[in-house]
């Protein structure tokens, strides 16, 4: 093969020279921290249990839901949800599912999902008070 043909084949197959996220077979632990709404009583044990169950039933593996097996484990630890994966798994998908759960519980208007580091998300409140103060200052 000439170098030009090899590059064209790589482009068609989607493989580029770079690293594409988590490699298969490595263990990755993602965390969703729900401490702030849990401290205020919005996320009690029942809602955290529902969130854990929601993730268990809605995470897709190879295009199928409810097929986690030993590849992905969802566990609750106090006010955190820990997702342990042994396959390639995008963190962004967890944010998507968390936002869907918040919308289902009609909490999406008050809570947002924020990445705190490379392997974790945190549920925080929108800064509504800051916006109200700015509106009051603008009205004066």
Quick one: 94 exposed, middle or buried, by C-beta within 10 A (0-12, 13-18, 19+)?
buried
Q: How far apart are CA 124 and CA 131, in angstroms?
A: 16
Q: Which two three-digit tokens encode residue 122?
A: 């945190």
H-state helical runs in the chain = 3-13, 35-39, 45-58, 91-104, 128-139
pTM of the shown model: 0.73
| pLDDT per residue as tens digits for the range 40-97 | 888 888 999 999 999 999 999 888 888 888 899 999 988 899 999 999 989 999 999 9
d(CA 69, CA 133): 50
């Amino acid at each position: 093969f000439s170098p030009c043909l090899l590059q064209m084949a790589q482009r068609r197959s989607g493989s580029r020279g770079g690293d594409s996220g988590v490699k298969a077979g490595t263990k990755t632990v993602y965390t969703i921290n729900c401490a702030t709404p849990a401290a205020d009583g919005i996320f009690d044990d029942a809602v955290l249990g529902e969130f854990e169950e929601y993730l268990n039933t809605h995470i897709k593996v190879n295009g199928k839901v409810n097929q986690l097996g030993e590849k992905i484990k969802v566990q609750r630890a106090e006010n955190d949800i820990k997702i342990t994966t042994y396959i390639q798994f995008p963190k962004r998908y967890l944010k998507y599912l968390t936002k869907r759960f918040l919308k289902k519980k009609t909490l999406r208007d008050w809570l947002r999902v924020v990445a705190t580091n490379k392997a974790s998300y945190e549920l925080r409140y929108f800064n509504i008070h800051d916006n109200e103060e700015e509106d009051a200052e603008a009205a004066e």
